[in-house]
Structure formats: structure tokens, C-alpha cells
Structure 1
Amino acid sequence: MSDSTRELFERYHACWADHDPDRIVELHTPDSIFHLHSGSEPARGRDEIRASAAQTFALVPDLTFHMVNLRVGEDFWVVQWRLSGTSATGGKVDVDLADVVFVENGAVREKHSYVDGVAMQAALAAPAEMA
């Protein structure tokens, strides 16, 4: 395991836990990619990544991350999460997520997030849609 990659993971996770899109993008390379694999296009570059992170926090304002498993290598980490919170529409969020992150020169080069789409869609559905 790379100590520098593990340290980057810790700093990066703290930014997400604090819901801070500005700090998140500071840890990305300028031409980085963030792809939430949920049917949307990847966010490319810091401006798009900042907007994508902000949108995530707007959808689930009290989003919390519970780590299930972490593997760190020289230039990557893979982490399993259990996400919880309450969606902006009032739905309970309790979903699985896996992140695959590639590191280059001490920064996040690519982040691929794989979410339980069915559970997330149910949590984000407006109450009228759930009836």
C-alpha cells in the first residue's frame, strides 16, 4: 500500500464528508474525470466536477458515508460505501456505492462511482411518484 495514496484518500474523503465541492476539486487533476455511473455523462474538468458534487449534496443534503471496505494501491483505491441520509424529496437514502479512483502525481485523475441505481431512484422519487 502506498502511504501517499492512503493519505490522499483520507483528505479526499474528508472533503466529501464535509460536503465541500471546492476542496474536492482541489484534489483533482485539472483534466480529471468524475463519472457517476447512473446513466449520466462523466463530469470532465474541475468546473464540471464541482457542479456534479454540489448537485449530489443538493439531492441529499445530509448525505453520510459509511465505509464498508477499502483497498489502496500505489496509484489507485477502491472503496465500498453505504450511503445514508434523506433526499431533498423526503425519501430515505440507504444505498450501496463503490468507488474506483485512479491517482496521478498525487491527485485524483479519475473517479468512477457505481451506485445501486434502483435504490437511489426510489430514494430520490417525489412522494407523489411513490404512490
Structure 2
Amino acid sequence: MTTATRELFERYHACWEDRDADRIVELHTDDSVFHLHSGQEPARGRAAIREAAAASFALVPDLTFHLVSLRVGEDFWAVQFQLTGTSATGNPVSVDLADYVLVENGAVKEKHSYVDGVAMQAALG
């Protein structure tokens, strides 16, 4: 199962790198939760998750993910990224992000994202 979870991570991460909200939600369970822990309420269900992902891409249209570390288990992965790009307001973005993702039946059940809120607010300001 760890190999299957690693393969899911690779497919899922490719969707984020491509900034493709439609493909992202295809890899979530119907009742999935995406929670960006920066003051927002969790997005619940595919439609809300698609909207949340698209909103993220609108904030940083050229968002790039630089892998720092990855740990994969039977039904989860934990990953750290350095995010870079240019915000929609023209400011440079360079922030840390950590994701904890729970997997159920070969799909993303929960995605919890923890971002350096101070650095992100400075970039978006």
C-alpha cells in the first residue's frame, strides 16, 4: 500500500504543479476535506475543494513547489515544500508549506495544509 500511496502522491502533486483544480478534485473522495490552516474554514466536498484550489492559484498564478521532504505511510503522506512565485499583486512569494494528507481507498480523504501565514500575508499585501 505504501507504493500505491506514493504513486497517488505523485499524481496528486502533478495536478497541483499543473494548477489543475479539476484533476485535483478527481483524486479526492466525495466527502473529502481540504483545510488550509490559515484562518479559513475547511472546504468540504469536491466542489468546495475545487473552488479553494482555484482561489489559491488565482493568488499566485505562477506557483511553484520545491520539495523539501516527503514521508509516505500506508494511508498518509506528510510533505514539506518551499513555495515560490509571484503574487497577483506583483510581490515575490517564498513561503514554507507542510501538508498532512490522509488516504482512503486510493483517494485523498483529508488534506491539511499549514503555511507560513506571516510570509504569505506579506507576499499578498
- Alignment TM-score > 0.5, same fold: yes
Deviation at 1:108? 0.1
Deviation at 1:118? 0.1
CA distance in 2, matches of 1:47, 1:91: 29
1:25 equivalent in structure 2:
25
Structure 2 unaligned spans of 5+: none
2:120 equivalent in structure 1:
120
Q: Percent identity?
A: 78
CA distance in 1, matches of 2:34, 2:26: 13
The aligned amino acid for 1:18 is D
Aligned residues: 125
Displaced runs of 4 or more, over 3 A: none
Deviation at 1:114? 0.1
Report matched runs for 1:3-18 at 5 Å. 3-18=3-18
2:51 equivalent in structure 1:
51
1:94 equivalent in structure 2:
94
Deviation at 1:27? 0.1
CA distance in 2, matches of 1:77, 1:13: 12
Task: Please identify the structure whose Cα radius of gyration is greater.
Answer: 1
Deviation at 1:110? 0.1
CA distance in 1, matches of 2:18, 2:35: 20
Deviation at 1:68? 0.1
Residue aligned with 1:90, SS: coil
The aligned amino acid for 1:100 is Y
Structure 1 unaligned spans of 5+: 126-131
Residue aligned with 2:40, SS: coil
1:72 equivalent in structure 2:
72
The aligned amino acid for 2:44 is R
CA distance in 1, matches of 2:53, 2:40: 13
Q: What is the TM-score with the length of structure 1 in the denominator?
A: 0.95
1:34 equivalent in structure 2:
34
